[in-house]
Chain A
Amino acid sequence: MQRQRLIEIGVGAFMALGLLALFFLAMQVSNLSAAGSGEGYHLKARFQNIGSLKVRAAVTMAGVPIGRVERIEFDQDSYEALVTLRIESRYDRIPEDTFANIFTAGLLGEQYVGLDPGGSDEYLKDGDTLEHTQSALVLEQIIGQFLFDKAAGGGK
């Protein structure tokens, strides 16, 4: 009977491990977990064009990740992208006039939000909006711009 009990405990642990693994696959590996849990505070930013920025992309300051993109919506009134950022609560001294850019990591890499601190003494609080934003660089537009400049320069 002692042995039977050990077997039952083993099988119980086995099943629990399996459920745990499945839970891990569902929550951590796949997209089942809805947009993140609430630790930290939220900032909003409006962009003309976010390129291929994705939910859960990194938010960095001076290259250090300080938060994540939590939600991306389209504002039908202003025809702008409304991006909600979640910043870790220990980074609570982000100046009010901070500049938000969408950068690309490497030539083909992931896009992320980079914050450039301003000089203000007022700090952003939960729910505030970043006023100064710079849209993502879209490769076709840059090339188009470059060719246009080249053509203009050549005609001079």
Chain B
Amino acid sequence: MLDALAHLGRAGIGAIRRLGRGHLLAASMLLGSGEVLRRPGLLVTQLHSVGVLSLVIVGVSGLFVGMVLGLQGYHVLSQFGSAQSLGVVVAASLVRELGPVVAALLFAGRAGSALTAEIGLMKATEQLSGLEMMAVDPIRRILVPRLYAGFLAMPVLAALFSAVGVLGGWFVGVGLLGVDDGAFWSQMQAKIDFHEDVVNGVVKSLVFGFVCTWIALFQGYDAVPTSAGVGRATTRTVVHSSLAVLGLDFVLTALMFGD
């Protein structure tokens, strides 16, 4: 009984310690932000591996999610004779929620796990130590460009996801199911507000981009430097990022659309 309690206590203390280390890392990354301005080339390289390489999965997923929304939305709406509102349903769900959230989940799975594995392996193969001994700060030189790349790539990916999704919904709704093209767009444009919906979606994805990248980098940097440790850290990245995205999405939605 006491053992169980002690075990719980140990786990709690460990979690709080890790949380503390994570925030310290975030603080030192933010303090080292100047590096991005001094060496924009590093940022470009990371934007490629974080953003461009996630493009295909985000684009294809967006297309299919949009098509499914078109199909499902049509069947429900046509029961009420308001299939013309399909555009609103598709666009509102994508721009407000699914774009930022699903793109962030895919990002955590594609780019986040890759970042953790990369940093963890650099730690396991002493590359980070090697940089330190070469008088190069690995936080500034390796982590900071990746953090900003994630922060910048996320809204782009989310916007692409939403845009491709709307086109997918349009293809199914207008192209296959025969919803009126004009009604599809006109209702959408009448109901979707640029500031209320599109801008808030971008704000959400900026937050998700920062949090997902931060979690991924921290898990890699804090990983036990063995192959098993890096593997566990990669799994943790995906789990923690997904939970963080969904939890934060609720908080942000409540703040943005709550009243």
Contacts and interface: CB of A to CB of B under 8 A. Distances in A.
Interface string B33-51: 0000000000011011001
Interface size class of A (residues with CB under 8 A): 35 or more
A65 B180 contact: yes
A107 B45 CA distance: 56
Contacts of B192: 29-31
Contact of A110 (B82, B164, B189, B194): B82
Interface string A97-140: 00000000111111000000000000000000000000000000
User: Which of B55, B81, B182 counts the most chain A CB atoms within 10 A?
Assistant: B182
A30 B197 contact: yes
B68 interface: no
Interface size class of B (residues with CB under 8 A): 35 or more
A31 B194 contact: yes
Contact of B194 (A10, A26, A108, A109): A26
User: Which of A15, A29, A65, A110 counts the most chain B CB atoms within 10 A?
Assistant: A29
B44 A56 contact: no
B84 A110 contact: yes
Interface in B17-70: 44-45, 47-48, 51-52, 55
Instruction: Say whether chain B's binding surface is mostly helix, strand, loop, or mixed.
Output: helix
Given A11-B48, A18-B155, A106 B81 contact: yes
Contacts of B45: 4, 7
B182 A22 contact: no
Contacts of A56: 182, 185-186, 189-190
Contacts of A30: 91, 95, 189, 192-194, 197-198
Interface string A1-39: 000100110110111011011101110111111000000
Given A14-B55, A18-B159, A28 B186 contact: no
Contacts of A81: none
B47 A14 contact: yes
A55 interface: yes
Nearest to B166: A29
B224 interface: no
A29 B156 contact: no
B108 interface: no
Contacts of A8: 44
B119 interface: no
Given A7-B45, A29-B198, A110-B187, A18 B160 contact: yes
Given A7-B45, A11-B51, A17-B55, 16 more contacts: A7-B48, A11-B48, A14-B48, A17-B160, A21-B163, A24-B166, A29-B91, A31-B190, A32-B198, A33-B189, A56-B182, A57-B186, A58-B186, A105-B183, A110-B84, A110-B187
